Amino acid sequence: MTISRINHPEDIPNIFGALKILSHDTIEKEQSNLVARPEADCLSADNDTPTEHEVAPCKTPQILTTKENRAAYQTNNWAKINEIAQTSEKALKPLYSNIASKGDDAWTKVKSSNGNEFCMTWNDEAAIWAYTESITPSNEAQLTENPKTTYQAVVQIGTYVKSKTILGLHSYNFGIASLIGTSIASLLVARTISTFIAEGLGFTTASFAARMTSIAARIGIRNTVFRIAARALSALGSCILFAVVFVGISLLWDWLNRLYTVQIQILNWDNSDWTVGEHYESNAKIPGDEAYGPDFNKKIPKMVSAGSVVTPPDFGPIKTLDSICYYALIVYQNNSTFMEGCDAVINVKCSDYTDSQNQGFTYGISVPRFKDNKHAISNGIHNGQSFIKDESQWKSEKGVSTHWNGKQITASLKDLSGAKDNFYDVIININNKPVGN
């Protein structure tokens, strides 16, 4: 069996053209320089009063890929979709395992041709990075909310699989009292994400701030406390889940040791923003579920052009990634294993409309213990509990669809029964126009 080498200098050209590897000493030196700056409140070891700053998602999960891969998702070509997931899993597994086992030491500091420094881990088939998109002064509104938060940092997490030309991006925004280097900002987020990858799907969303606070202190950002606003919890849970799972890779599914796992992937190919709203479950549990009340509030922004996406400098494959959409991922496992499956219903709303009953569509899936799976999709927003009980619209068929305001909505269930490891996969496409439209 071939053992994947990790963070090897010869593998960088496969992903990035001109990056240089910096020694671990450069990280240690930058951390030492932070500690030596007692004039800054947030960095002073002698200041007993911590400063509090907010951390929140900046951009929710986004998929960039080729027209060929886009066509596979839009036409529910499960053979191709499985190939993408399995190849991604094989490429990323060594990196995930290395992050889980080595934590902080899994990341290497690199420098781009224009001088940007950030953190990355890679092999010859894949890469995961934490790249600081920007550190800017806080605006007037941000300063009014918290006068001590004088800077705002945005750090991107990227996951790229070379052979399948697929890239996942999401980013985090956090405040800070004093200016720090871009590589320190990326290191802070990289090490925070590492703890969730190591933990898998059993994570608690609200722990993100405490973990980030602890890691900040370790790398020299002293007397700083991060917090998460209640309004940001749901989106944060979505970002953590995406970082842990990516495009359905099954490395970390064994979370509750339950009988069934249901994954729902929602891709927005539309020119309108959508939101996964109210939800209802029967005997089903969601990773990080403490972040969600009765409303998921998972925003799925509209499609964007390739030129509007920020990636690290020298990232060559961006030229071939011409199909871009925002993405929502929901994972369920059955809560009780005794002779029971699980059921779930979600409402998905279009932001262009305010009519609460005619604002989008409702989708439900039922995975029973001894029968074929069934699912249903319906125009309009419906009560989840009533939707489950209405047997007339449920179908034991792989594909169901509806039209809403001229937009086609399709849902495809990979297996009706007998799925490997009882893992049941659903893809919902919003306004899945043919490739090229």
Q: pLDDT tens, 135-162?
A: 999 999 999 999 999 999 999 999 999 8
Query: Which residues have C-beta within 8 Å of that of residue 293, sequence separation ≥ 6?
Result: none
Q: How confident is residue 402, by pLDDT bands cut at 50, 70 and 90?
A: very high
* Sequence letter at residue 49: T
Taking the mean position of all CA atoms in its chain, how far away is CA 329? 8
Q: Which of 182, 164, 196 is nearest to 82 (CA)?
A: 164
CA distances from 291 to 206, 253, 329, 410 (A): 7, 19, 15, 28
Determine the average pLDDT of the residues in 22-46. Answer: 51
The domains of the chain, with CATH numbers, are 9-245 (no CATH), 261-430 (2.60.270.50)
Count the Cβ atoms, other than its own, within 10 Å of residue 370.
Answer: 7
Largest CA distance in the chain: 69
3-state SS assignment for residue 99: helix
Structure confidence at residue 396 (pLDDT): 93
Residues 121 and 129: their CA atoms lie apart, in Å, by: 6
Q: Which residues pair with 407 in a beta bridge?
A: 404
3-state SS assignment for residue 432: coil
Structure confidence at residue 66 (pLDDT): 86
Tokens read off for 321: 């990634």
Tokens read off for 333: 């496992």
Mean pLDDT, the chain, integer: 84
CB contact burial 284-297 (16+ within 10 A = b; e otherwise): bbbbbeebbeeebb
Tokens read off for 52: 């509090």
**DSSP assignment, residue 434?**
P
Q: Which residues pair with 363 in a beta bridge?
A: 346, 377
3-state SS assignment for residue 11: helix
State in Å, rounded, how far the first CA of the chain is from the last one. Answer: 44
CA distances from 359 to 206, 271, 273 (A): 30, 15, 12
Determine the average pLDDT of the residues in 168-194. Answer: 93
Tokens read off for 252: 């970390």
Structure confidence at residue 16 (pLDDT): 79
pTM of the model: 0.88
Residues 18 and 316: their CA atoms lie apart, in Å, by: 10
Structure confidence at residue 226 (pLDDT): 96
Count the Cβ atoms, other than its own, within 10 Å of residue 75.
Answer: 16
Structure confidence at residue 43 (pLDDT): 47
Q: Which residue has the tokens 């990289």?
A: 190
Residues 130 and 212: their CA atoms lie apart, in Å, by: 14
Q: What is the pLDDT of residues 102-111, one digit of tens each?
A: 888 899 999 9
Query: Residue 32 above 80 pLDDT?
Result: no
C-alpha torsion sign, points 347, 353, 355, 360:
negative
Structure confidence at residue 38 (pLDDT): 47
Tell which wins on pLDDT, 157 or 252.
157
**Cα radius of gyration rounded to whole Å, the chain:** 22
Q: Which residues pair with 425 in a beta bridge?
A: 263
